[in-house]
A and B are shown apart, each in its own frame.
Chain A
Amino acid sequence: DAEITQSPRHKITETGRQVTLACHQTWNHNNMFWYRQDLGHGLRLIHYSYGVHDTNKGEVSDGYSVSRSNTEDLPLTLESAASSQTSVYFCASSESFSGRVGELFFGEGSRLTVL
């Protein structure tokens, strides 16, 4: 069965370190997204991509970067981790919006703690 997987599921790091969260989907979806989930804020969009070599900033993109070198993967990098980036991160993918608009498939999440 097709799926979307995130790794690591749990990560503890120190302030200032670079961290990369991996996201891999086997749905063959063009669209991929990274969200962070925080109490009182729901899910907020960090970055998104609509195809290979395409990346776009979401509402909370400062301190994060992504790259899309193939259809399956959209790694999220924290260049210099800050305590404010302690959160649960979710990757999602979807078909083209001309089809099943808004139907996102989510990974299980990556819990990041920055000390």
Chain B
Amino acid sequence: AQSVAQPEDQVNVAEGNPLTVKCTYSVSGNPYLFWYVQYPNRGLQFLLKYITGDNLVKGSYGFEAEFNKSQTSFHLKKPSALVSDSALYFCAVRDIGPGGYQKVTFGIGTKLQVIP
């Protein structure tokens, strides 16, 4: 089965500084990778995805992610953090279930805290 790992439970960054939230993946075949964000007491929101093409993927709210095949990583980045970026971030991967059904498998999440 495909999987992703988020090695950090929490990331703290000062407002205005660049931020990185890490994700590594384990897949067979070509990876389909995603980032989602969850604000307190809300459902998850899709941020961006990598399927093929450029290794740098741009998404919503100024976020981008860098796909690195040799390091099997898909780190989420933003050049300048905002306090409003404080949330829970999930990396995810497309997986193939029994019968060939496609589904999305999530990591355990990383809490991002942006300090004013």
Contact = CB atoms under 8 A, between A and B. Distances in A.
Pair from one complex: yes
B77 interface: no
Contacts of A97: 94, 102
Nearest to B92: A102
B107 A48 contact: no
Contact-residue bracket for chain B: 20 to 34
Interface residues of A, number: 24
Contacts of A42: 90, 106-109
B4 to A, nearest CB: 9
Interface in A18-66: 33, 35, 40-45, 48, 50, 56, 58
A79 interface: no
B99 interface: yes
A102 B101 contact: no
Interface in B40-76: 41-46, 49, 51
Interface string B79-109: 0000000000010101001110111111111
A97 B49 CA distance: 13
B25 interface: no
A40 B108 contact: yes
B46 A101 contact: no
A103 interface: yes
A92 B102 CA distance: 14
Interface string A71-115: 000000000000000000010100001000111111111000000
Contact of B104 (A40, A41, A102): A102
Given A42-B107, A43-B106, A102-B34, A56 B49 contact: no
The 5 A-B pairs at the shortest CB distance, nearest first, are namely A106-B43, A42-B108, A43-B106, A97-B102, A106-B44
24 contacts: A40-B108, A42-B106, A42-B107, A42-B108, A43-B44, A43-B90, A43-B106, A44-B106, A45-B104, A48-B103, A56-B101, A58-B97, A92-B44, A101-B51, A102-B32, A102-B104, A103-B34, A103-B46, A104-B44, A106-B45, A107-B43, A108-B41, A108-B43, A109-B41
